[in-house]
Chains A and B, each alone.
Chain A
């Protein structure tokens, strides 16, 4: 596991920082050093925060880190510029019988800043992005 100090230095989790190939315009999240077109010339790029759900699931048996949060809902979101990102879906009602009634493929979401989990016994919070239905 990374230390909290290192977490806070990750611009992807805090500022949605991607990069964009200067040769072909392709956007990468997380950022890459080599583009699929072969170019190594990039510029920083901030992702848009709105998009649509491409697919999703409800994880009912997570690993130990997320045991207390279960069930957790996760989605792959296609942002307005076409970049895809996986994120938890947050701000859902506390008791949901059938998630397919409230979460649909194609539903609009926005990315928000949230706690992801608390690390080990010290309970240090680890933050990042999640998404919520609009």
Chain B
């Protein structure tokens, strides 16, 4: 297997972008990534997207995006794994370059969620359609069930739990305020979260990631090509993916994301490192409780311990393990299919030392964790700068 590097990154602004469409978003991010990489040809392309069919009445994204990128006859694949579509697309692009089958591969993710479609209904297709969505459960509802199970399992009083959870959103908005591409750049307080409207008890509006339009792209190449480009070489040193029960009721422990633990173990084993070797993390905070559970499953905290992470300041830029320096899904925004690729973009910017106000000093290794559904699929990547 060849060593693989990320040689180019690009993303659109994330937000409520009524004046653009699915294809334009993707092509904008792709052109930025190609320009950053300094390459003019591609061997293949992967497009991560969850549900353009429901949002934009458009499938067949491989052909559409290759066509509009001006890449005639390019082999192109659309990858779907709910909100982990982007991360999984990145893994497949990585595998293709590592295998020697292709040299220059573009991996992108895109979602256009503001189209007039019922977003809650469209997203619910990532759950078990016949035994979950059929009953009226929503994604905030599924993560709220995880939150209640967590609070009960670790015997945390409601008021304390609620306040500590709010700190996750406060921290991610603080980080997002420093990111020009973030959907929400305003800082918020614990009271902003606690006074926001209830969405699914105990989660409130400001515990939830927003509805977002956006795209992100990266270009992959073998390390020997990356070394000729005169930029810091950011290598992919670990990649792990896993799946678990699609229905929350069928997981052994509702407060534990076994899928993240399994994907992370594979990525750590491949990179031959442990959690303590990681300098920063971009993880899937689709809801505040998800950031807590993911930090534990990635091995950064003991079970029941990560509820204190943002509250204690550990996960702020400047803390002992900066988490979601981009603002995370909460503040940067969550165009579902694009999220996994946008996480890679942030890690690469950080490892190159290009993250401006958000820069984590001396960052050498970053981890990106992307998740599908209520924890039915997850992808973990570890990147390192030479």
A residues lining the B interface (CB < 8 Å): 12, 30, 54-66, 69, 72, 74, 76, 84-88, 99-100, 105, 116-117, 128
Q: How far is the CB of B126 from chain A (nearest CB, A)?
A: 13
Asked whether B199 lies within 8 Å of A88 as measured between CB atoms, the reply is: no
Asked whether B134 lies within 8 Å of A62 as measured between CB atoms, the reply is: no
* Interface Cβ pair total, 8 Å cutoff: 94
Cβ of B131 within 8 Å of any chain A Cβ, yes or no, is yes
Asked whether B136 lies within 8 Å of A64 as measured between CB atoms, the reply is: no
Pick the residue among B120, B130, B146 that contacts A63 (CB under 8 A).
Answer: B120
Enumerate chain B residues within 8 angstroms of A87, measured Cβ to Cβ: 135
Q: How far is the CB of A84 from chain B (nearest CB, A)?
A: 4
Enumerate chain B residues within 8 angstroms of A76, measured Cβ to Cβ: 145, 248-249, 254
- The answer to whether residues A63 and B124 also contact, given A56-B145, A56-B148, A58-B198 and a CB cut-off of 8 A, is yes
Enumerate chain B residues within 8 angstroms of A61, measured Cβ to Cβ: 120, 138, 140, 199-200
Q: How far is the CB of A26 from chain B (nearest CB, A)?
A: 11
Enumerate chain A residues within 8 angstroms of B140, measured Cβ to Cβ: 59, 61
Measured CA separation A116–B158 after assembly (Å): 31
Chain B residue at minimal CB-CB distance from A99 = B201
- Given A54-B149, A57-B137, A64-B121; 20 other pairs, CB 8 A cutoff: A55-B148, A57-B144, A57-B200, A58-B201, A59-B141, A61-B120, A63-B136, A65-B136, A66-B136, A74-B136, A74-B137, A76-B248, A76-B249, A84-B250, A86-B131, A86-B249, A87-B135, A105-B148, A105-B149, A128-B135
**Size class of the B contact interface (CB-based, 8 Å):** 20 to 34
- The answer to whether residues A74 and B135 also contact, given A30-B130, A57-B144, A63-B120 and a CB cut-off of 8 A, is yes
Measured CA separation A105–B197 after assembly (Å): 23
Enumerate chain B residues within 8 angstroms of A85, measured Cβ to Cβ: 249
Pick the residue among A30, A72, A105 that contacts B152 (CB under 8 A).
Answer: A105
Measured CA separation A12–B199 after assembly (Å): 30
Enumerate chain A residues within 8 angstroms of B118, measured Cβ to Cβ: 63-64
Measured CA separation A16–B65 after assembly (Å): 46
Q: How far is the CB of B212 from chain A (nearest CB, A)?
A: 17
Cβ of B80 within 8 Å of any chain A Cβ, yes or no, is no
6 pairs, A vs B, C-beta closer than 8 Å:
A57-B144, A57-B148, A60-B198, A72-B136, A74-B141, A76-B254
Enumerate chain B residues within 8 angstroms of A105, measured Cβ to Cβ: 148-149, 152
Which has the most chain A C-beta neighbours within 10 Å: B118, B135, B254? Answer: B135
